[in-house]
Each structure stands twice: as C-alpha cells, then as structure tokens.
Amino acid sequence: MVSVMRALIAALAFAAAAPATAQPLSTQMDELRAQQEAAQRRAIDQANQLMALETRLRADQAAADLQRPPPRVPEFRYKPAGGVGFTPAMPPNYPAVPEDALVQSNQRVQDAARNRR
C-alpha cells in the first residue's frame, strides 16, 4: 500500500510539474517568434534602404547624362559628287515610258474613276 501511495504521489508531482516545465518552453517560443519578427522587420528595412539607394543612383546618373554635352556628329569633309540637284543616270536596261503615254494613261484612270456604275 505504501508503494501505491508513493507511486500516486510521484504521478501527482509529475503531473503538477509538467505545466511548469511547459511554461518556459512557451515563453521561449514567444521570444523566438519576437526575434523572428524583428529580423523580418530589419530585412524589410534593409531592402527598402537598398531600393532607395538604387533609385537615387539612377536619378543621379540620369542627371549626369543630362549635364553631359551631346555627342558630336561627324562632319562631311567632301561634298557629294552630284551636288544639290544631282539625279542619278538611268541604267541602260531600265524601261523608259514616254511622257505622252503617261498623260494618256492618267486621263483614262481619272475618267474611269468618274464614270462609276
């Protein structure tokens, strides 16, 4: 009977001690969660600072590009061979249409356009 009582007392003591041992674990978990949230906030702050610095760098580069003089365009040292009114020569095998034939063709096209059915 004494051994049964001892076992019962030991079981009650163990049951009473279990919540006490679980409590430090929950506080440790809460502390770990708080540390994790703080680390996440720090990471977000660092990412925001990095983005701000990148944006500032791009703005500074754009401002420097605007301050820089435009690139020089090369100047021609020689004038083109034909000059201002230059027309290239027609190749010998290029078909030539007489001016009268073009005028007559144009007149036929305009007459056909006016006489639509």
Tell me: the pLDDT tens digits for 51-99? 999 999 999 999 999 898 888 888 877 766 655 666 666 666 777 788 8
Q: Which residues contact 96 (CB under 8 A, 6 or more apart)?
A: 90
Q: pTM of the prediction?
A: 0.39
Q: What is the pLDDT of residues 21-39, one digit of tens each?
A: 556 788 899 999 999 999 9
